[in-house]
Amino acid sequence: MKDARLLKRERFSPLTYLALAAALLMTMILCICVGSVPIKLSDTVTAVWNALWGLPVPENIAKNIILNVRLPRVLCVTLAGAALSISGAAMQGLLRNPLADGSTMGVSSGAALGAIIAIAAGFTLPGFAYGGVMVSAMVFAFGSLMLILSLAYLLDHSLATTSIILIGVIFTMFISSIISLVITFSNDHTRSLSFWTMGSFSGVNYDQALLLCGALILCGGILIRFSPELNAFAIGEENARHIGVNIRRVKLIVLITVSVLTGVCVSIAGTVSFVGLIMPHIARMLVGPNHKRLLPASLFSGAIFLLLADLTARTLLSPIELPIGVVTSIVGAVAFVIIFYRTRKGGR
Amino acid sequence: MLRGDHISVRYGAATVVDDLSFHLEEGQWLMLAGPNGAGKSTLIEAIAQGVPYTGSIRWEEQELRAMKPAQLAQRIGVLSQKNSVGYAYTVDEVVGLGRYAWKSGLFSGSDDQGKQQVEKALEMTGLTELRRASMLTLSGGETQRVFLAQVFSQNPQVLILDEPANHLDLKYQQHIFSLIQQWLREPGRAVLSVVHDLSLARRYGTHAILMDHGKTVSKGLIGEVMTPENLRQVYDMDVFAWMREMLSQWKE
């Protein structure tokens, strides 16, 4: 009897990290090679390698496309995928809710509204023009999170799975209409409604990749540092308190960290839905629910997934580019139903 | 070890615990008894710092309110009535979390003593064989044993229990209570628990507080508290007669 219930896998070894890293690297190279102009693998590897070590890069069209268009894009997609996925994983643990994610809870929409308002109002930070948009997105992300959680708490003190999601959906719809309103009345039409609601990585640059990288190292580091606390929350908040976790402090830090990551991602690429919902689940299947392993695994799986989604978005109907959210939402909606069904059945 | 003075808990206009005092000394198993709504569980929540209260609860001379959550958890362990786990954690992982309060800081190094505590806890609760099992596959009784093991590995000096075996089969009830009794035998330990079943309270308790509507009706040694008069006052029936009648069902 008991044998059948034991989990055989000693679930995570350095080898798993290595395999994930290799898969990520391969996906990144694939995404640089494939596109409206196909580029040879050897050209890609040479160009990236030489650029990395400051060696002269052979002049041809490929160089331009690789270094000015595809590489910054692939970097941004990788980092955003990792950031969204680790945020989702942390939220799912903290709230003990397998459906929690920036997009299902309405946090991404809130961040998008913050970004749009900052753009419309011309809000900038001295010396860092784009900073205003980013900070505003972060603040709105945190505000939305607090609002949604307080509303859900009013409805139902246990913060049940369904009430949070229900409020998240309504909140997203409400915010979307405000976003349309602000865009209609603003003079800035550089970014369309579809960018904010469906996301896109078209035209991203190295500065943005650097920003994402900084945010991910800082916030990802904080979240991984809080793995034991997230494990305690995932087992149960009351139990977490009993074993000595400082509940309020941990909650506040994790929610702020997630808001910062979401804010940065949304201000750069718009709302890319469902990455943080699906990928932590895949990671959990691979390495189990312990956040010490789950968070790093989520980083890798999120990056790989978003790279493939971006590849699909820009090649499926080439030369037309789909918003990336179209791809992630189609996959995400199906995954949502499956996860919801399994939650209702009691297993996860 | 632990003493509370003039504790009151109010929810809006309702006073759930009303000016209650208690003290708990080494080796005691203090039973909180009383009918539904007497405020037993709320009192326990107040001690665990889960609800706001007025009055004072002190560990030796230190106010619990002023203690850090980890400091508190090193001294007081709590086992709640019902526990469930959302994700497929292993028994090991859940029991190991009991060491959380003892691992201070990021670079605290390996917690060797902690590993021993976890092993001991798994052994005491008979879970060694199931240590790699997923929590989602366990029965209610097994799940409760895992959380008992967690609180044992936490190695507190006072164990607080809120109807720890309430929804369990008789066999598990007996098992859990005897495990706790065994735990209490080591020096420097005490137990405070809410038990609905008066027979269990009498069987295992050394002291008792009988509560009704948030107030203390009687407190002291278990035999002095559980008198026919006290119980009649609180439960509004002849508890002794009822218990004897129940027992007579089992005579051949």
Instruction: Measure CB to CB from residue B69 to each of A2, A241, A290 and give the nearest one.
Output: A241
Task: Work out the pLDDT band at A248, boundaries 50, 70, 90.
Answer: confident
Q: Is position A132 within any domain?
A: yes
Q: What's residue B104's pLDDT? A: 63
Which of B45, B79, B87 is most worth mutating to test chain A (most A CB atoms within 10 A of its CB)? B87
Q: What's residue A219's pLDDT? A: 96
Domain range enclosing A212 = 25-52+82-93+100-346
Q: What is the pLDDT of residues B157-211, one digit of tens each?
A: 999 998 887 777 888 888 889 989 999 999 999 999 998 888 889 999 999 999 9
Residue numbers in B near A244 (CB within 8 A): 69-74, 100-101, 154
Rounded to a whole number, what is the distance in Å from the CA of A304 to chain B's nearest CA? 24
Q: What's residue B9's pLDDT? A: 93
Rounded to a whole number, what is the distance in Å from the CA of B135 to chain A's nearest CA? 9
Instruction: Classify residue B183 as exposed, middle or buried by CB count within 10 Å of its CB (0-12, 13-18, 19+).
Output: middle
Q: Is position A260 within any domain?
A: yes
Q: Is position A231 within any domain?
A: yes
Contact check, Cβ <8 Å, A6/B48? no
DSSP symbol at B35: S
Q: Is position A73 within any domain?
A: no
Residue bearing the bigger pLDDT, B70 or A346: B70
Residue bearing the bigger pLDDT, A154 or A211: A211
Q: What is the pLDDT of residues B90-135, one digit of tens each?
A: 999 999 999 999 886 545 556 777 888 899 999 988 899 999 999 9
Q: What is the pLDDT of residues A287-324, one digit of tens each?
A: 889 999 999 999 999 999 999 999 999 998 878 888 89
Q: What is the pLDDT of residues A269-290, one digit of tens each?
A: 998 988 998 899 989 988 889 9
Residue bearing the bigger pLDDT, B107 or A119: A119
Contact check, Cβ <8 Å, A244/B70? yes
Task: Work out the pLDDT band at A42, boundaries 50, 70, 90.
Answer: confident
| pTM for the model | 0.89
A242 to chain B, any CB pair closer than 8 A? The answer is yes
Residue bearing the bigger pLDDT, A193 or B63: B63
Q: What's residue A7's pLDDT? A: 61
Contact check, Cβ <8 Å, A2/B129? yes
Rounded to a whole number, what is the distance in Å from the CA of A235 to chain B's nearest CA? 5
Confirm whether the ipTM is greater than 0.95: no
Mean predicted lDDT score pLDDT of chain A: 86
Residue of B nearest to A230 (CA): B97
Q: Is position A70 within any domain?
A: no
Q: Is position A288 within any domain?
A: yes
B151 to chain A, any CB pair closer than 8 A? The answer is yes
Q: Are A173 and A106 in contact (CB under 8 A)?
A: no
Task: Work out the pLDDT band at B147, boundaries 50, 70, 90.
Answer: very high
Task: Work out the pLDDT band at A121, boundaries 50, 70, 90.
Answer: confident
Residue numbers in B near A239 (CB within 8 A): 80, 83, 97, 147, 150
Q: What's residue A106's pLDDT? A: 86
Q: Which of residues 143-172 of A touch B (CB under 8 A)?
A: none
If one counts the domains in chain A, the total is: 1
Residue numbers in A near B147 (CB within 8 A): 239
Q: Is position A229 within any domain?
A: yes
Mean predicted lDDT score pLDDT of chain B: 89
Q: Are B230 and B218 in contact (CB under 8 A)?
A: yes
Neighbours of A3 (CB within 10 A): 8
Task: Work out the pLDDT band at A213, boundaries 50, 70, 90.
Answer: very high
Q: Is position A1 within any domain?
A: no
Rounded to a whole number, what is the distance in Å from the CA of B80 to chain A's nearest CA? 8
Residue bearing the bigger pLDDT, A37 or B206: B206
B34 to chain A, any CB pair closer than 8 A? The answer is no
Q: What's residue A4's pLDDT? A: 58
Percent of chain A at pLDDT exceeding 70: 92
Q: What is the pLDDT of residues B23-42, one digit of tens each?
A: 999 999 999 999 888 889 99
Q: What's residue A1's pLDDT? A: 42
Task: Work out the pLDDT band at A167, boundaries 50, 70, 90.
Answer: confident
